[in-house]
Amino acid sequence: MLMDELPLGPLERALLGSLCRLEPQAPDSVLAAAALCCAALGNGDVCLPLRRLAGTAPWPEQDFRLPALTHWHRELEASSLVGAPGDFAPLILDGERLYLARYHAYEVQLASQLLRRAALRPEVDEARLAESLARLFAFNPAAWSARPAISPR
């Protein structure tokens, strides 16, 4: 199947054009995965969950079906367009998730920052916290009744 036949937007077409210049013989399943990564971003997702889409027809009006998960995973791993986390490649395959490289880097950076912040255990003035919570929930006694669930460390 030619990628030209798929109902893609200008961003997806530009990405596929770049990827085809990098790997002219790229399998349709790899190019389709890249286009679907772009579409996922438009839907608020940072990656393409391969397991969920494997074996499906992502564009119902087209006669194109994605390969089964194992076969698709092998095709992605074999492509020079796809790298593992930490590799320099346009697409990053991390387990059963495919990312545009930039978004994988963003996710790794965000996870690192969240873990670093979670490791910080700032000192908490328990009396001041209790006063603040009492003021916050002064007009909502039902919510304040949940306070025994909030226990000091």
Type of residue at 83 = G
> Rounded to the nearest 5°, which phi and psi values hold at 91?
-120, 145
For 19-58, the pLDDT digits (tens) are: 999 999 999 999 999 999 998 988 889 999 999 999 998 8
Q: 142 in a domain, yes or no? A: no
Query: What are the DSSP calls for 23-63, one per residue?
Result: -TT--HHHHHHHHHHHHHHHTT-SSEEHHHHTTS-SSTTSS
- Report the domain count for the chain: 1
Q: 121 in a domain, yes or no? A: no
pLDDT value for 147: 56
pLDDT in tens, the chain (153 residues): 456 677 888 888 888 889 999 999 999 999 999 999 998 988 889 999 999 999 998 888 888 889 999 999 999 999 999 999 999 999 999 999 999 999 999 999 999 999 998 888 888 888 998 888 888 877 766 655 655 555 554
pLDDT value for 93: 96
Take residue 150 and report the two structure tokens written for it: 């909030």
Q: 87 in a domain, yes or no? A: yes
Quick one: the chain helix, strand, coil %, rounded to 5? 55, 10, 40
pLDDT value for 49: 94
pLDDT value for 104: 93
Residue-range definition of the domain harbouring residue 99: 3-115
Total residue length of the chain: 153
Q: CATH number, domain at 66?
A: 1.10.10.1020
Q: 62 in a domain, yes or no? A: yes
Q: 124 in a domain, yes or no? A: no
**DSSP classification of residue 66:** P
Q: 89 in a domain, yes or no? A: yes
pLDDT value for 143: 58
Q: 123 in a domain, yes or no? A: no
Q: 33 in a domain, yes or no? A: yes
Type of residue at 127 = A
What is the pTM assigned to this prediction? Answer: 0.74
CA–CA dist 90, 105 (Å, integer): 11
